[in-house]
Structure 1
Amino acid sequence: MAPTLPEGEALRLALPHRAALGDGLLWQPGAARWWWSDVPAATLYAWTDGAPAAHACRLPDRAGSLAFCRSGRMLVGLAKWLCYAAAPAGTLPARLPLSPVVAVDPAEPRTRVGDGRTDRAGNFVFGTRMDGAEPRAIGSFYQFSQRHGLRRLALPATTLAGSICFSPDGRTLYFGDAQARAILQCDYDATDAQVAGVRPFAQLRDDAARPHGAVVDSEGCLWNAEWGGGRLTRYDPDGIILRSHRLPVDYPTRPAFGGAALDHLLVGSAGPRVAGKPTAAQAGSLFRLAVPGVRGLADTLFNDD
């Protein structure tokens, strides 16, 4: 059984927050800020580490994921659109002006944009999730690039795409399906948007847990937030659990590395309104996990040239 760290010195509250669903956590190195969205509230947040509160701005729709661009802009994945936005350097405006780039499944009202991140080549890879009671898996995975536009990846249909991240060399794509309680992996060709060799990476052991957000560190190990399981688990490149960190909330969302040396590991969480039942008073907050000797990998900027 994988060792579980006790709460206390290993884990502490980074920012008390009451986000209904604080997801898409991402570090912006140039501005040294953390960004995330409260999905149901259609609100984007930015926070400077150590500040007493985060800045917030309203969005026209729910945002499932975002990425930073070479130009300094942001790429924001709204429910049915990928959009560009200027990344404010200081306080966020009350509403963030967005420029639509490409529609995502415009004829399919039952899905919306979910988890996503840039691959090592600077393309944006994301998945869609079901937005209703449809019993079938109808979500898809896509790669978006400035040069080729939107290209569907030949991956299995999903109910709730998540855990999207890449090996350090960019040749392996990890992704998850919450309904199956599994994290999968495949060979990935960023240039041609081709995938092959879909195979299991890890199966969650807790029947109540679902794979949510994930990130890969500099050693090629994958960190996954277990939605419903209240854990952040580190896997080695072979899918073997190295350590499982119990959190004071049941519904963690997405981990991210940040800080000047990428040695700060934070994870967001969902509040009771989304979880559907009362949870700890700290639900919806950001938590910092002490992981001495472990560093993250810088996310490649989206190539919007």
Structure 2
Amino acid sequence: MARPTPQRAELWADCRCSLAESPRWDDRTNQLLWVDLDAGDLWKARTDRTAPPDGGPVRVQFDRPTSVAVPRMDGGLLTAGPGGFVWTDRDGRPGRTVDLPEDWSVMRMNDGACDPAGRLLCGSTSREAGAGPGRLYQLDGDGRVRVLLDGLGMSNGIAWSPTGDTVYHVDSLAHEVAAHDYDVDGGALGDRRRFLVLEEDFGMPDGLTVDAEGFLWVAVWGAGRVLRCAPDGEVVSHVDVPARYVTACAFGGDSLSDLYITTARRPSTGRPPRAEPAAGGVFRCAPGTSGLPLSRFDG
């Protein structure tokens, strides 16, 4: 059977972030949230607007680099950055903190997401390759932390199957997406298996999401595309993005039927911004399927 014709995502928010990451749709506010990791900015824009959003996206400045901003059950956000985890209100004002045992001179926090029970899983990575091993942390609503994985090259995207019994996790430097059995009740990782491995000259897997049919959508850094993978790991289609450094993706909108894709434009990528004027923006397409509801942090 022939594969479907690739779709092409169109620019939705021309925010020109250095490193846009961690998109997620908040159904309480009807907004897409994402961060500019290096700048420490949270961006918000309503998804019921045409491209670009009417009035443009709103930027909230944090006081530190921020890799993840997850809506909380009780309101506000949980963020990850140098030092560990910080509870904030929706305007970025900090509250409770949980410190992590990392050498922040060489390490930083990276992508993360909440499991169906409301725990945050979020990884660390070295600022320069080989500076230190990455870890995958789990944070409970009461502030308890445990390390689920150690010795990672670059802990990155994470998402769960529709039933919650499988978690998918990216190690970008290994060019690999792994699948683990997952105990939602206890939060424990089970057996591991390789799900997807990309050739080094193709690009690195980065952020990912899962649709309602159980298919994975994997952003590929360096390839300008998002792959759609069947539950058995077969790549069945893809979305082309007019920016080479694709970082992550998430479903949003009232019916969760739009796919939003974040990208990077920072000079360290070696790709001059003038060659890709929309790089660092958020792109959107309607892939013909829908996503799963957001899991909020239970704390």
Q: CA 1:145–1:244 in structure 2 vs 1: closer, same or farther (change >3 Å)?
A: same
Residue matched to 1:56: 59
Q: Distance in 1 between matches of 2:2 and 2:139?
A: 37
Q: Deviations over 1:167-200 (max 9, x none)?
A: 1111111111111111111111233332121110
Q: What secondary structure does 1:157 align onto?
A: strand
2:160 is the alignment partner of 1:162: no
Q: Deviations over 1:76-123 (max 9, x none)?
A: 1122221111125xxxxxxx2112420122455322211000001111
Q: Distance in 1 between matches of 2:115 and 2:60?
A: 27
Q: What secondary structure does 1:140 align onto?
A: strand
2:220 is the alignment partner of 1:218: no
2:66 is the alignment partner of 1:70: no
Q: Distance in 2 between matches of 1:86 and 1:107?
A: 27
TM-score when scaled to structure 1? 0.90
Q: What secondary structure does 1:76 align onto?
A: strand
Q: What secondary structure does 1:151 align onto?
A: strand
Residue matched to 2:248: 254
| Aligned counterparts, 1:85-234, within 5 A | 85-88=88-91, 96-107=92-103, 109-133=105-129, 135=130, 138-147=133-142, 149-153=144-148, 155-205=149-199, 207-234=201-228
Residue matched to 1:17: 15
Q: CA 1:275–1:107 in structure 2 vs 1: closer, same or farther (change >3 Å)?
A: closer
Q: CA 1:283–1:221 in structure 2 vs 1: closer, same or farther (change >3 Å)?
A: same
Q: Distance in 2 between matches of 1:157 and 1:268?
A: 27
Q: Distance in 2 between matches of 1:250 and 1:263?
A: 24
Q: Distance in 2 between matches of 1:272 and 1:110?
A: 19
Q: What secondary structure does 1:254 align onto?
A: strand
Q: Distance in 2 between matches of 1:273 and 1:148?
A: 37
Q: Distance in 1 between matches of 2:157 and 2:11?
A: 23
2:295 is the alignment partner of 1:297: no
Deviation larger for 156-165 or 210-219: 156-165
Q: How many residues align?
A: 292
Q: Distance in 2 between matches of 1:284 and 1:4?
A: 27
Gap regions ≥5 residues in structure 1: 89-95
Q: CA 1:112–1:258 in structure 2 vs 1: closer, same or farther (change >3 Å)?
A: same
Q: CA 1:145–1:2 in structure 2 vs 1: closer, same or farther (change >3 Å)?
A: farther
Residue matched to 2:87: 84
Q: Distance in 2 between matches of 1:157 and 1:77?
A: 20
Please give the root-mean-square deviation of Cα atoms over the aligned residues, in Å.
1.9
Which runs of structure 1 show a deviation greater than 6 angstroms over 4 or more consecutive aligned residues? Answer: none
Q: Distance in 2 between matches of 1:44 and 1:117?
A: 16
Q: Distance in 1 between matches of 2:101 and 2:270?
A: 28
Cα pair 1:151 1:193 within 8 Å, conserved:
no
Q: Distance in 2 between matches of 1:245 and 1:3?
A: 12
2:52 is the alignment partner of 1:26: no
Q: Distance in 2 between matches of 1:186 and 1:219?
A: 18
Cα pair 2:106 2:131 within 8 Å, conserved:
no
Q: CA 1:176–1:72 in structure 2 vs 1: closer, same or farther (change >3 Å)?
A: same
Q: What secondary structure does 2:77 align onto?
A: strand
Gap regions ≥5 residues in structure 2: none
TM-score when scaled to structure 2? 0.91
Quote the offset at 1:204 in angstroms.
1.4
Q: Distance in 2 between matches of 1:268 and 1:98?
A: 25
Q: What secondary structure does 1:179 align onto?
A: helix
Cα pair 1:20 1:274 within 8 Å, conserved:
no
Q: Deviations over 1:273-305 (max 9, x none)?
A: 24222141110111111212x00001212111x
Cα pair 1:23 1:253 within 8 Å, conserved:
yes
Cα pair 1:21 1:274 within 8 Å, conserved:
no
Partner amino acid, structure 1, of 2:127: D
Q: Distance in 2 between matches of 1:272 and 1:97?
A: 27
Q: What secondary structure does 2:238 align onto?
A: strand
Partner residue of 1:283 out of 279, 282, 289: 279
